[in-house]
Amino acid sequence: MYQILTQDGNAKRGRLMTVHGVIETPVFMNVGTAGAIKGAVSSMDLKEIGCQVELSNTYHLHVRPGDQLIHELGGLRRFMNWDRPILTDSGGFQVFSLTALRGKIREEGVTFSSHVDGRKIFMGPEESMKIQSNLGSTIAMAFDECAPSRADRTYIENSVARTTRWLERCKKEMQRLNQLEDRVNPNQLLFGINQGGVLEDVRLEHARAIRELDLDGYAVGGLAVGESHEEMYRILDIVVPELPREKPTYLMGVGTPVNILEAVHRGVDFFDCVLPARNGRHGHVYTDRGKLNLWNAKYERDMEPIDAECGCPACKHYSRAYIRHLLKAKEMLGMRLCVLHNLYYYNHLMERIRMAIEEQRYNSFLRERLEGYQELGL
């Protein structure tokens, strides 16, 4: 199912064979929370810009349009016309991000007030697995609690212990659901999530506990939620070696190109982040020299593409000056072109990373990229 093709130091070049297609790793998953990338980007666009895996969110699709409806329509892939792999987040992050809309976290799960219409929604491990099974994604994520990184030790220890118990329930329920006759994808994979804030001993103990469950892949969650980059890298340095190397290793919600390069160096090979799409919607675009702000007046007469070496739809056809005009005129096309460019940049950065690992030159590629980004900054 998962194969390490080659390694360069800790960096691994892998391949995950799934029922919905092959995923070449390291990979960046393009985030379409509600079944679409924000910025008027379609599933056909995603193919053109080199997306291998689309990521959607369990909670948001459960709220609207409803996972049962999507199941009746043939699953999320058919619903959004996407014939490649999909990973669904479990809804666990909403336990962290929607604190104003949720009740107390209990052993059974969490009750939310819908951000759409205020109705009460209960979600626990079994409910999350059922929703993801209805969606029929390629990879389902276990339901967990992403505790605040600065929470006190007692809170984090109790949260992590509960997350482990929830993971055991997720595995049991996923096995049950995959045996049902009406499942969209009876071969759904399950990834578990390591938590523990920035407490090294808690992280280590949790990694050692969950690796015993022999899951399809393992994620490091609860990072990029307020801690420094140095703290993130420190946690990766101690956690990733404790997770099964022969399984995919996923760093959730991270990050900048530098974060990705540093994490690959430490053995991570799955990534996702809203950053390229979000920054694109605000006219901030990525290049090998760093990030450009197209709102800047110096681009008013600049007829060069965003990046002369880029093959994305924006760079092949339009100038910085024109895209800046679209942004200032509040034309949706400006936002769309910037999002397409950024996702193309991330997807093809991963392609270059894979090639560098294959050619045993990842360390020099890492140094080259870190030096390049310093010119304009990220």
Report pLDDT digits (tens) over 128-157.
999 999 999 999 999 999 888 789 999 999
Query: Domain coordinates of the chain in residue numbers?
Result: 2-273, 283-373
Report pLDDT digits (tens) over 85-107.
999 999 877 766 667 777 789 99
CATH number of 2-273: 3.20.20.105
Report pLDDT digits (tens) over 313-342.
999 999 999 999 999 999 999 999 999 999
pLDDT of residue 148: 84
- Is 294 within 8 Å of 327 (Cβ atoms)? yes
Catalytic residues: 89, 272
Report pLDDT digits (tens) over 199-232.
999 999 999 999 999 999 999 999 988 899 999 9
- Is 88 within 8 Å of 174 (Cβ atoms)? no
pTM for this predicted structure: 0.97
pLDDT of residue 194: 98
pLDDT of residue 225: 87
Long-range contacts of 268-271 (CB under 8 A, 24+ apart): 268/26, 268/220, 268/236, 268/240, 269/12, 269/13, 269/14, 269/25, 269/26, 269/27, 270/25, 270/26, 270/27, 270/29, 270/217, 270/219, 271/26, 271/27, 271/28, 271/29, 271/350
